[in-house]
Structure 1
Amino acid sequence: MTDAAPPREESLMGHLLELRSRLLKGVLAVVVVFVALIPFANDIYSRLTSPLLAVLPAGTQLVAIEVASPFFIPIKVAFFVAVLLAMPVLIYQAWAFVAPGLYEQEKRLTRPLLGAAIVLFYVGCTFAYFLVMPTVFAFLAGTTPDGVAWTPDITQVLDFLLVLFLAFGLSFEMPVAVMVLVLLKVVTPAQLREARGYVIVGVFVLAAIITPPDVVSQILLAVPMWLLYELGILAGALLSRPSKAG
């Protein structure tokens, strides 16, 4: 009779072993992609910085102030890109770990949300690269005072790029976050509409904090966040609409 339920220690150990297995698979995916990208690290860095190089004055180049930065910065870029490319694997491993504890209805709702989260993150990064970066760099180049040589350091350029990619990648998750809140019944679409004014102010404040200190990148982040919030309200309203019986 006492052997019906497994000991709590064995159950906990099983979860820990499963977690370790999922973490190892995620790390292995990142490592494999990273190793494959190392030979192309310099080309990747050149490609990522091409929007900046396009607006620099003729004959101007980026500079490396630190002694080892010409070696380490492209390697860091390759690792960052490896994490981005391996993101679907990482999210799947996290999903596979928690999925056994979900009901079937929760699984059906979670799968498309995870897929949408991955797609929106990549869309945000693409938006940052093709629209935001050229616009911001052109703005900064145009505001450089006369007599000032604008020669950015490659380490600071990397920090700048990482902030933009992460800021826009995560901000484009707004519809998913809103839909999750609606599905969990934390808020209703009506309450989200009532809070629209506060959200607009909040996204502009947030954009001013997490983006580089220029008004262009702030606007280019805040406006999409607001529009994505509206999209999240619309999707949340559709999902929360009761289905017709019969």
Structure 2
Amino acid sequence: MVETADGSYDADEGVVGDGPESDEEMPLADHIEEMVYRLGVVLVAVAVVAGVVFPFAAYIIDFLWYSVLPGGDIARPRVYHPLGLILARLKVATLAGFVIGLPVFVYQTYLFMRPGLYPQERRYYLASVPASLVLGIFGVLFAYFLILPAIFTYFLTYSQDAAVIAFGLTETFDLIVLMMGLFAAVFQIPLFVMLAIMMGLTTRAWLAEKRLYFWGGFLGVAFLFSPDPTGMAPFLVALTMIGLFEATLLVLKWVGR
């Protein structure tokens, strides 16, 4: 961060000037090319992290499986597909890549938008990069400690007396990975709400006025991306999204933004 001529500070050391005043119009093709490049960087980062985690994925699968599911013989995984274990290892490695890829995605969007941002907006955006990683980890932990135990406890409660229960590795681990990845993304809601308000894209009052539209969108996302045999996960996802949204608005009201 360096001091400019007028006494203000430039968040990225003057690499691209002072914001929109120095912004130059770019052809649409160049914008699309840069956007594809930025997305490619995110995908490469996800792939690299997944590749590093993959050799240890079997240990992670054992840890997640026996810490989330009930103990005893009932929790022993059943493999019904010759590639079931390999695919499960790929999924857990991809989950790790996805969580690490969240702050990379935020940073790449910052680089894409940087020429049109004022110095203060750049500071807000750069601060959101580590915040994104922290929120993603909190989302994974929230799913691990609260959501997944609640789902499997509910499942066992209503089906243990009616049928012999067996947990297939592929289907069960699909649910575990999906919930952890989804909650890592869901926990980004406070970050993007605060970022949008701090950058002047919207106001807390407008978001509060339109909250029912956001609630409807959250319900739609929850039921679209939460396939769950118990039918419980979509409601938990939707309630979490609404709770994070409302808690963010409450904090912003408390701090006077």
SS of residue matched to 1:148: coil
Show CA shifts across 1:206-225 (max 9, x none).
Answer: 54444325464344333332
- Which amino acid in 1 is paired with 2:110? W
Residue 33 in 1 paired to residue 49 in 2?
yes
Give the Cα–Cα distance (whole angstroms) in 2 for the partners of residues 130 and 103 of structure 1: 40
Residue 234 in 1 paired to residue 250 in 2?
yes
Of 114, 122, 132, 2:137 maps to 122
Deviation at 1:15, TM superposition (A): 8.6
Task: Return closer, same or farther for 1:224/1:56 CA change in 2, 3 Å cut-off.
Answer: same
Deviation at 1:68, TM superposition (A): 1.9
- Which amino acid in 1 is paired with 2:59? D
What is aligned with 1:144? 159
Give the Cα–Cα distance (whole angstroms) in 2 for the partners of residues 73 and 202 of structure 1: 30
What is aligned with 1:220? 236
Most deviating of 204-213 and 11-20: 11-20
Most deviating of 213-222 and 122-131: 213-222
Partners of 2:46 and 2:101 within 8 A in 1 = yes
Q: Which runs of 5+ in 2 are unaligned?
A: 1-23
Residue 88 in 1 paired to residue 103 in 2?
yes
Give the Cα–Cα distance (whole angstroms) in 2 for the partners of residues 178 and 86 of structure 1: 20
Give aligned-pair identity as a percent: 27
Give the TM-score normalised by structure 2: 0.71
Give the Cα–Cα distance (whole angstroms) in 2 for the partners of residues 235 and 98 of structure 1: 27
What is aligned with 1:98? 113
What is aligned with 2:183? 168
Partners of 2:103 and 2:132 within 8 A in 1 = no
Task: Return closer, same or farther for 1:83/1:215 CA change in 2, 3 Å cut-off.
Answer: closer
Residue 49 in 1 paired to residue 57 in 2?
no
Partners of 2:194 and 2:248 within 8 A in 1 = yes
SS of residue matched to 1:151: coil
- Which amino acid in 2 is paired with 1:100? P
Give the Cα–Cα distance (whole angstroms) in 2 for the partners of residues 176 and 60 of structure 1: 37
Residue 112 in 1 paired to residue 134 in 2?
no
Task: Return closer, same or farther for 1:240/1:182 CA change in 2, 3 Å cut-off.
Answer: farther
Give the Cα–Cα distance (whole angstroms) in 2 for the partners of residues 146 and 74 of structure 1: 32
Partners of 2:140 and 2:184 within 8 A in 1 = yes
Give the Cα–Cα distance (whole angstroms) in 2 for the partners of residues 161 and 59 of structure 1: 17
Give the Cα–Cα distance (whole angstroms) in 2 for the partners of residues 16 and 204 of structure 1: 34
Partners of 1:125 and 1:169 within 8 A in 2 = yes
Task: Return closer, same or farther for 1:215/1:16 CA change in 2, 3 Å cut-off.
Answer: closer
- Which amino acid in 2 is paired with 1:67? P
Partners of 1:182 and 1:240 within 8 A in 2 = no
Most deviating of 176-185 and 103-112: 176-185
Task: Return closer, same or farther for 1:51/1:220 CA change in 2, 3 Å cut-off.
Answer: farther
Most deviating of 129-138 and 29-38: 29-38
Task: Return closer, same or farther for 1:125/1:194 CA change in 2, 3 Å cut-off.
Answer: same
Q: Which runs of 5+ in 1 are unaligned?
A: 1-5, 242-246
Show CA shifts across 1:154-197 (max 9, x none).
Answer: 22123212331233222222223333444465653234334456
What is aligned with 1:58? 73
Q: CA RMSD for the aligned pairs?
A: 3.6
Most deviating of 127-136 and 85-94: 85-94
Task: Return closer, same or farther for 1:23/1:190 CA change in 2, 3 Å cut-off.
Answer: closer
- The count of corresponding residues between Structure 1 and Structure 2 is 233
Partners of 2:103 and 2:133 within 8 A in 1 = yes
